Amino acid sequence: MQDNNLFQPDKLSMVDHKLLRGQIDTPEQFDQEKIAGFFTDNSLQLGFNLQDKLAKAEISIQIRSNSENKNEKEATGNFELVYIYSVENLDELSRKESSNDKLLIDPVLANTLASISYSTSRGILLSRLQGTVFENFILPVIDISVLLNTGNKEKE
């Protein structure tokens, strides 16, 4: 796991994805023309099944309109997406710490899973948000390491 060259993109494939939650709440008197921007709050969790050589990425995305107090209430959107990946050489890209049984994953693999999942989510949201108050929202480009470590809060 110490050699970054162990990661091989051709041994990684997405085998499933699901939109677990896609909810948009728009107040009754909301004026979409008054939107000045959007606030997003994103989180990512990775999980691994070593026996089956699978990885799971769960992404939560919350969107809130920013009308700069020109609308009485803001519109909100909440999305949860899950991606399942097959990692043929997961055993080479992971190891358990002997002291506490903590699973250590190759950082290149973790970064790749996060990047693919986040970018795929951007495309899904572009399609799903058409015809809604969030039709002009595009999931912002971010430093994926921030999402991996602490979650991400961005203003657009």
- Give the CATH H-level superfamily of domain 4-155: SecB-like (3.10.420.10)
Residues 108, 87: Cα–Cα separation, whole Å: 13
Res 156: pLDDT = 42
pLDDT of residue 100: 79
Residue 141 has pLDDT above 70, yes or no: yes
| Res 5 pLDDT > 90 | no
Which tens digits make up the pLDDT trace of 51-93?
Answer: 999 999 999 999 999 999 999 999 999 999 999 999 999 999 9
Of 40-49, 89-98, 107-116, 126-135, the poorest mean pLDDT is in 89-98
105 pLDDT higher than 60: yes
Residues 15-54: tens digit of each pLDDT: 999 999 999 999 999 999 999 999 999 999 999 999 999 9
- Domain spans in the chain, listed from the N-terminal domain onward: 4-155
Whole-number Cα distances in Å, 1 to 39, 64, 105, 118, 149: 37, 40, 8, 24, 19
Q: Write down the pTM of the prediction.
A: 0.88
Nearest to 20 by CA among 50, 45, 49: 45
Torsion of CA 115, 63, 136, 118, to 10 degrees: 10
Collect all residues with Cβ–Cβ distance below 8 Å to 19 and sequence separation of at least 6.
79, 80, 81, 124, 128
- Percent of the chain as helix, strand, coil, to the nearest 5: 25, 40, 35
